[in-house]
Amino acid sequence: MTLNPIISTMGRRLRLAVIGGGPGSFIGAMHRQAARLDNRYEIVAGVLSSNPERAKKAGIEIGLKSERSYTNVFEMLKTESARDDGADVIAIMTPNDSHYAYAVAALDNGFDVICDKPMTNTLENAEKLHQKVLDSGLVFCLTHNYTGYPMTRQAKAMVMDNQIGTIRLIQVEYVQGGNADENDPDPSEGELPWRYDPAKGGPSLVMGDIGTHAHNLVRFITGLEVREVAAEVGNIVPDRQVHDYAGALLRMENGARGNFWVTQAAAGVENCLRIRVSGTKGSLEWMQEFPQTLTFKPLNAPSQIRTLNGPGSLPLSTRSCRIVAGHPEGFHEGFANIYSDAAEAIAARRTGKKADPLALYFPNSLDGLLGVRFVHSVIESSQADGKWVKC
Amino acid sequence: MTLNPIISTMGRRLRLAVIGGGPGSFIGAMHRQAARLDNRYEIVAGVLSSNPERAKKAGIEIGLKSERSYTNVFEMLKTESARDDGADVIAIMTPNDSHYAYAVAALDNGFDVICDKPMTNTLENAEKLHQKVLDSGLVFCLTHNYTGYPMTRQAKAMVMDNQIGTIRLIQVEYVQGGNADENDPDPSEGELPWRYDPAKGGPSLVMGDIGTHAHNLVRFITGLEVREVAAEVGNIVPDRQVHDYAGALLRMENGARGNFWVTQAAAGVENCLRIRVSGTKGSLEWMQEFPQTLTFKPLNAPSQIRTLNGPGSLPLSTRSCRIVAGHPEGFHEGFANIYSDAAEAIAARRTGKKADPLALYFPNSLDGLLGVRFVHSVIESSQADGKWVKC
Amino acid sequence: MTLNPIISTMGRRLRLAVIGGGPGSFIGAMHRQAARLDNRYEIVAGVLSSNPERAKKAGIEIGLKSERSYTNVFEMLKTESARDDGADVIAIMTPNDSHYAYAVAALDNGFDVICDKPMTNTLENAEKLHQKVLDSGLVFCLTHNYTGYPMTRQAKAMVMDNQIGTIRLIQVEYVQGGNADENDPDPSEGELPWRYDPAKGGPSLVMGDIGTHAHNLVRFITGLEVREVAAEVGNIVPDRQVHDYAGALLRMENGARGNFWVTQAAAGVENCLRIRVSGTKGSLEWMQEFPQTLTFKPLNAPSQIRTLNGPGSLPLSTRSCRIVAGHPEGFHEGFANIYSDAAEAIAARRTGKKADPLALYFPNSLDGLLGVRFVHSVIESSQADGKWVKC
Amino acid sequence: MTLNPIISTMGRRLRLAVIGGGPGSFIGAMHRQAARLDNRYEIVAGVLSSNPERAKKAGIEIGLKSERSYTNVFEMLKTESARDDGADVIAIMTPNDSHYAYAVAALDNGFDVICDKPMTNTLENAEKLHQKVLDSGLVFCLTHNYTGYPMTRQAKAMVMDNQIGTIRLIQVEYVQGGNADENDPDPSEGELPWRYDPAKGGPSLVMGDIGTHAHNLVRFITGLEVREVAAEVGNIVPDRQVHDYAGALLRMENGARGNFWVTQAAAGVENCLRIRVSGTKGSLEWMQEFPQTLTFKPLNAPSQIRTLNGPGSLPLSTRSCRIVAGHPEGFHEGFANIYSDAAEAIAARRTGKKADPLALYFPNSLDGLLGVRFVHSVIESSQADGKWVKC
């Protein structure tokens, strides 16, 4: 726990410009709160909507100066890159189909980038964007925010510390009920209607929305890549045009086996992202709805309930907490951890100093590429009668 | 709640003879306690071990008269069927490979049968045994005991009462850690070594031991049959000769989709049988480690924790409780419910009277046949590179 | 885990006669099931109701021979004590006001006694009965059944093993909702109406019914006596003639402090008996509604969830389980543990052999006396404006 | 969910000056993060330490301009009140004994005030400060932050909506283990050593630290005042100079009864603030360690688990969430709710506009006064042998 200082290596907060996240966007407010929590960013510019009038108004509403509440993304990138006090970082929180173009343009203008997931809709764009990030030397952070929770970081740290042994079995599920109502299979009105249009939302709603989170969390905690998948993906609600469930069996690179289940059509369920990892020395279990605890079941010893900053906490976890044990942190703090770690990396890059190595576990463009590739492998296996497909 | 009377239609308790369950058998003591709990059976005879000396001694130890502590199954069946006060029912709790022969012989001698699961090791025997039961008109009860818990019965009753709506999604897992220790992949010593010998334990240890329970529980609660399966089954612990995990995707007869995951190699886990069923009106969730509650998550209304004999309990559930709300029942009572329901059916058959219809949900030979068939379908799909296979 | 043999030291099961527990009595069925579970008792005689006709009928219904289904308690005691195959033990499960007379008569006739709680309604009778038990040398077992749960025994064993250190703080609550409905403050109809008549139910309904359980559980787990109490007891539901809540602060004999809270008027609550004990080395927490687990929170180490027969189980606990880890036992098994332990003590007394020392933790007449005394101390402090009163 | 705008009625963020919260202060970082989360405050000035050198350095470290990182509180108040762009609000997060002087000076200089709890150490100061707040017409917000959690607000809203009926029974406990280690009864080194000095920390460490929170939460949720208390307070760890536990029975103004238990000496426990409220229509239960849920047990209907923004959420609760159901908020968001509500009230006062009535449930100086009075009543009863004392 610290004073939550501005970035000392910079001598100031990073200047952030946002793309998207205007009125009605839950995730936009979340990005801004995450940026603000630790005082490492100052939001200085933005294009908050694709509608110019709404964009201007919303930017002012969130506290931007009028001239920096832009109405065109490419104009903002050009103008801000020319200003002495211009933005350092661009955060993208628009519909999925625009991530690629905005991220490429931001990188081309020399900005570090924070981008919502999934990285792109197509595998081709994912590969190109990842290559561009590598070539640019800039920081690219993908907001797979569930890896920012202190207890998923504790899980990862325990795996890295060999407290779990060799990983053998993985179960991951992400079950929601938001799309369970059969009376409204493809809402064209209401919140985020673009998600129900494959041209904007991507080839698989459920995989892009939550499947990539589940896949990323498996890779984050275990440190293992998925090598092969046997899967089915489709819609369980009749007359729906998009996918609302996917199931898969996984073969990991080390021979471990996994089970994967995601759906947004489980009536009455809220946001049950749950992972269990079993190794030769014990099992770990974490659920997003109660993220403040991590269950550890060691081989031949009593089960343990690990808590934020509680006994046995490892550095990767404790540095992700702002509070003493017994006081839960939530979704916002996990999201802010991703932002604050990216800030550390960005400041290090800009100043030529070395970042705290523990800050460098935020998701990046490789994670984004592998996530998009996993979506496509699941679809491929499903179309091939469930046969095993390489990832 | 009643006086737990002896069977009124019989005017006496049923006379039970047991096969197996001698020293060191956890399940043998369980069968006997289940038979005793509600006072509907009197244990009058048995062959407690395949070793004649141990059989004789153990029978006396559990309270049998010396002449009815037999050393040979077929002799017991013959003798008891000839006695005026001979056994009414035979309960079989021997290694899996002998279920078939003993069950056939018991039926041939006119006994009703209670048999441990899996019903048989081979599909051929399962089909033959099921046909014989149909032909005999005798009662055959298979101890898939998890269907005896009041809250799995409450789940089934809520499904039948259309409180869940049309079933769409099913998740079932049965995760244990008993076979997680890599230092001992195939214990030839210790408890139940026959389970590690496919000739005795059957073609798939994990599927026979616990996979059939998971499969049966899905069918019991949802009332739906599995139509197709895409699966993998194998051993995750190196150098093990038997299966220790299986994963499968399920297509149910009504188009619902399911996810199935069973393993005995998850270090530190005890006995996590967990099922979630989602329908158009809500989701149900039950876990065997806390069997006294059932979570019901209705669409667009607060989640509910249902309890034994608590508000909203349906008759199939309340008749399976012996206690007022707030006092948990456990594994023994669930097991005893199977025995007591079988007693009701057996007494009805013997007296020509009508059984309580709510007593007739105990697992029977059709359940046994479908369980064995499911084991074989999982193996078949696994051998066919994960392709979908009919059940 | 054993064959659950009949008592080997006796060469047969104990013969049990019951007083009370007829039609409509939940606790009567419970006593009989508890006696039956481990096959250590055979129910041979009884007076099931104070109404002769109902008594006769109910006794036959539970399987007694007609001549041993008695209609008068004293006649039964006399007749059974004269028979060669007469009862060994008397179990009393009648309204509280009759415990004293029946227990005294049973002891006078040379029977060992199992008696429901509270032992008596008056302190004078409790003292006299306890003295009579001491003088008789007979076994007296009081069914404070919550001390029979494997995990309360694990808690006691951990305290005795000094794993908790010096006890400093105790919280115990027993919260029920059965008497919460204000429309029916003193049900004269329905189940157990005698409980609402102080002449039969005793001076404090809530203290007799559940307060004595909470008090007993504190003493059982901690091994400490309550030295002083500051309390209030009364009725929170208007116009009720009996007590429905009591709160107290406790000073234990070693200086530890405790908090005590019991009520039957908490709407919607089922049977929340919950205890927390903190010592210098850690804290224990147990809840009756989930009795299969015990939480252990060691000082400066992660919290642990202990389970039935799970890692770290101590002998007093494991000998109280019939099953492998992960399979919950419930209320019946805890109750049966009290009965089976009493059987061990009774058989030892009758044969002159030594009982298993771990069987001797069942509640006895001293526990009964201290429970009744605690009820009276709570009332006394409440009447003295909350001042501290000696126990 | 909104854009989290700056205060529209002000056209800008409120300018905040902080007193205290320098290096090593957990609560200081918390106050600043709470202020920042919703973008309703801008931290413009501060005195971060009583040590001038550390104060100057720490202020700059958190981003203050050098000239507004003050070293003297009274100088800051004077200077800031004179500036055109001076602070609007003063937030006090210093040791308890200085709250009074700083709060009075801030009010005297025309500032609205946000102050940490307990409000003062002495009852006399509490009464004087409360009167001064009333006289000034300024906003005074006391950070009893547990009333900022969405689910404690849901509980309050359900009580106000008469969903619980007439309140009859209350149980509140606040159990921590931070002071359980007997080897260190009165740490003069380490974090917050002033808490162990009654001159600075107040007459009762445990009551000031956490007892006032528990008392405040009871009043907040039930809307009822404590009328009388029978209590004991003291130290359970030998040789400790301060109080580490307190127990009390409560009589509420409407005749309801309550039980109160607080300690910081329960080894291994983290931060178990737990409240249960029973009314004629049902019971509510909330625990701070899992603040994202609220259990509602209605009379004669199944128990419900209420969640943040889940079905049945009332406006006072939903306006306190920033996120869709299933994503937990934590301690920071609850704290921020207090800050953001105070911002609404302050902006309304300054602009003469009407505040959102739902924003006016933050704790104020009356709550502070009643909290201090409760501390003194507990001590008084404890000194009077546990007798009932008026509050």
B238-266 pLDDT, tens digit each? 999 999 999 999 999 999 999 999 999 99
pLDDT for residue D2 is more than 60 = no
Query: Considering only alpha carbons, which residue of chain D is nearest residue C173?
Result: D171
Check CB contact under 8 Å for D328 and A176. Answer: no
3-state secondary structure of C260: strand
Given CB atoms, is D32 within the 8 Å cutoff of chain A?
yes
Closest CA to B93 of B144, B146, B31: B31
Residue A330, domain member (yes or no): no
Mean pLDDT of C23-45: 92
CA B91 to chain centre: 13
Phi, psi of B366 (to 5 degrees): -65, -45
Q: Which amino acid is at A362?
A: F
Place B1 in a pLDDT band, splitting at 50, 70 and 90: very low
Average pLDDT value for chain C: 94
Given CB atoms, is B8 within the 8 Å cutoff of chain D?
no
Same domain for B385 and B244: yes
pLDDT for residue A191 is more than 90 = no
Q: Which amino acid is at D363?
A: P
Check CB contact under 8 Å for A331 and D327. Answer: yes
Residue A225, domain member (yes or no): yes
Report how far residue B360's alpha carbon sits from residue B338's, in angstroms, rounded to the nearest whole number. Answer: 10
**Residues of chain C positioned with their CB less than 8 A from the CB of B291:** 328
More confident site: D8 or D229? D229
Identify the weakest region by mean pLDDT among A38-47, A104-113, B23-32, C230-239: B23-32
Nearest CB partner across the interface for A29, out of D3, D6, D33? D3
Place D7 in a pLDDT band, splitting at 50, 70 and 90: low
Mutation pick from C297, C305, C313 vs chain A, by most beta carbons of A within 10 Å, is C305
Q: For residue range C297-326, what is the model confidence (pLDDT) as tens digits?
A: 999 999 999 999 999 999 999 999 998 899
In chain B, beta strands by DSSP E: 14-20, 41-47, 89-93, 112-115, 140-142, 167-176, 226-234, 245-252, 257-263, 271-279, 282-287, 293-298, 303-307, 389-390
Nearest CB partner across the interface for C310, out of A296, A302, A306? A302
Query: Considering only alpha carbons, which residue of chain B is nearest residue C273?
Result: B326
Same domain for B82 and B204: no
End-to-end CA distance of chain B: 40
Check CB contact under 8 Å for B289 and C288. Answer: no
Quote the pTM value.
Answer: 0.96
Mean pLDDT of A296-305: 98
Mean pLDDT of D203-226: 97
Q: Which residues contact B328 (CB under 8 A, 6 or more apart)?
A: B291, B292, B308, C288, C289, C290, C291, C292, C328, C330, C331
Given CB atoms, is D135 within the 8 Å cutoff of chain A?
no
Question: What are the Cα distances from residue B101, in Å, to A134, B18, B104, B107, B368?
Answer: 68, 15, 5, 10, 15
Closest CA to C34 of C361, C340, C348, C373: C340
Mutation pick from A159, A168, A236, A250 vs chain B, by most beta carbons of B within 10 Å, is A168
Average pLDDT value for chain A: 94
pLDDT for residue C189 is more than 80 = no
Mean pLDDT of D20-36: 91
Same domain for D356 and D376: no
**Residues of chain C positioned with their CB less than 8 A from the CB of B8:** 61
Nearest CB partner across the interface for C249, out of D276, D280, D386? D386
Chains touching B (3+ CB pairs < 8 Å)? A, C, D
Q: Which residues pair with B250 in a beta bridge?
A: B229, B258
3-state secondary structure of D82: helix
Same domain for B155 and B270: yes
Predicted local confidence at residue C4, as pLDDT: 53
Predicted local confidence at residue A163, as pLDDT: 98
Given CB atoms, is A283 within the 8 Å cutoff of chain C?
no
pLDDT for residue D46 is more than 90 = yes
Same domain for A64 and A166: no
Predicted local confidence at residue D1, as pLDDT: 42
CB pairs under 8 A between A and B: 154
pLDDT for residue A162 is more than 50 = yes
End-to-end CA distance of chain D: 40
Q: For residue range B128-185, what is the model confidence (pLDDT) as tens digits?
A: 999 999 999 999 999 999 999 999 999 999 999 999 999 999 999 999 999 999 887 8
Name the minimum distance, in Å, from the CA of A61 to any CA of chain D.
Answer: 6
Our count of domains for chain C comes to: 2
Q: Could you give the residue ranges of the DSSP H alpha helices within D242-313?
A: none
**Residues of chain D positioned with their CB less than 8 A from the CB of A325:** 270-271
Q: No. of H helices and E strands in chain D?
A: 12, 14
Q: For residue range B203-250, what is the model confidence (pLDDT) as tens digits?
A: 999 999 999 999 999 999 999 999 999 999 999 999 999 999 999 999
Mean pLDDT of D15-23: 94
Report how far residue C20's alpha carbon sits from residue C31's, in angstroms, rounded to the nearest whole number. Answer: 10
Cβ pair C97, C50 in contact under 8 A: no
More confident site: D86 or D6? D86
Mean pLDDT of A49-54: 95
Closest CA to B292 of B154, B130, B131: B154
Check CB contact under 8 Å for C182 and D297. Answer: no
Q: For residue range C118-144, what is the model confidence (pLDDT) as tens digits?
A: 999 999 999 999 999 999 999 999 999
Same domain for C200 and C173: yes
Cβ pair C181, C265 in contact under 8 A: no
Query: Considering only alpha carbons, which residue of chain D is nearest residue C277?
Result: D266
Instruction: Look up the domain containing D318 and give its range.
Output: 147-328+369-390
Name the minimum distance, in Å, from the CA of D273 to any CA of chain A.
Answer: 10
Residue A250, domain member (yes or no): yes
Place B23 in a pLDDT band, splitting at 50, 70 and 90: confident
Indicate the angle between helix axes B150-160 and B212-222, nearest 10 degrees: 40
Predicted local confidence at residue A189, as pLDDT: 63
Same domain for B314 and B357: no
pLDDT for residue B201 is more than 90 = no
Place C7 in a pLDDT band, splitting at 50, 70 and 90: low
The ipTM value here is 0.95
Residue D59, domain member (yes or no): yes
Report how far residue B353's alpha carbon sits from residue C4's, in angstroms, rounded to the nearest whole number. Answer: 34
Same domain for C300 and C176: yes
**Residues of chain D positioned with their CB less than 8 A from the CB of B301:** 311-312
Name the minimum distance, in Å, from the CA of B257 to any CA of chain D.
Answer: 24
Place B199 in a pLDDT band, splitting at 50, 70 and 90: confident
Mean pLDDT of D193-203: 87
Mean pLDDT of A379-387: 98
Name the minimum distance, in Å, from the CA of B240 to any CA of chain A.
Answer: 14
Q: For residue range B274-332, what is the model confidence (pLDDT) as tens digits?
A: 999 999 999 999 999 999 999 999 999 999 999 999 999 999 999 999 988 999 999 99
Strands D282-287 and D293-298: antiparallel
Residue D6, domain member (yes or no): no
Same domain for A162 and A129: no
Nearest CB partner across the interface for C3, out of B29, B290, B291? B29
**Residues of chain D positioned with their CB less than 8 A from the CB of B305:** 302-305
Chain C 224-253, CB below 8 Å of chain D: which residues?
230-232, 234, 236-237, 245, 247-249
pLDDT for residue B4 is more than 60 = no
Report how far residue D341's alpha carbon sits from residue B177's, in angstroms, rounded to the nearest whole number. Answer: 50
Same domain for C170 and C120: no
Q: Which amino acid is at C380?
A: E
Mutation pick from A235, A237, A249 vs chain B, by most beta carbons of B within 10 Å, is A249
Given CB atoms, is D263 within the 8 Å cutoff of chain C?
yes
pLDDT for residue D24 is more than 90 = no
Residue A263, domain member (yes or no): yes
Closest CA to D48 of D67, D25, D65: D25
Peptide bond preceding B118 in cis form (omega within 30 of 0):
yes
Predicted local confidence at residue D189, as pLDDT: 63
Check CB contact under 8 Å for B26 and C323. Answer: yes
**Residues of chain D positioned with their CB less than 8 A from the CB of C182:** 280
Predicted local confidence at residue C192, as pLDDT: 76
Q: For residue range D292-336, what is the model confidence (pLDDT) as tens digits?
A: 999 999 999 999 999 999 999 999 999 999 988 999 999 999 999
Residue A341, domain member (yes or no): no
Question: The CATH number of the domain where B319 resides is what?
Answer: 3.30.360.10
Question: The CATH number of the domain where C359 resides is what?
Answer: 3.40.50.720
Nearest CB partner across the interface for C259, out of D261, D279, D386? D261
Chain C 290-349, CB below 8 Å of chain A: which residues?
296, 300-307, 310-312
Closest CA to B132 of B119, B117, B147, B145: B119
Chain D 44-73, CB below 8 Å of chain A: which residues?
58, 61-63
Place A1 in a pLDDT band, splitting at 50, 70 and 90: very low
Predicted local confidence at residue B198, as pLDDT: 86
Same domain for B358 and B256: no
Report how far residue C389's alpha carbon sits from residue C382's, in angstroms, rounded to the nearest whole number. Answer: 9
Same domain for D284 and D196: yes
Residue D247, domain member (yes or no): yes
Kindly state the percentage of chain B with pLDDT values over 70. Answer: 97
Predicted local confidence at residue D196, as pLDDT: 87
**Residues of chain B positioned with their CB less than 8 A from the CB of A176:** none
Place A260 in a pLDDT band, splitting at 50, 70 and 90: very high
Cβ pair A156, A361 in contact under 8 A: yes
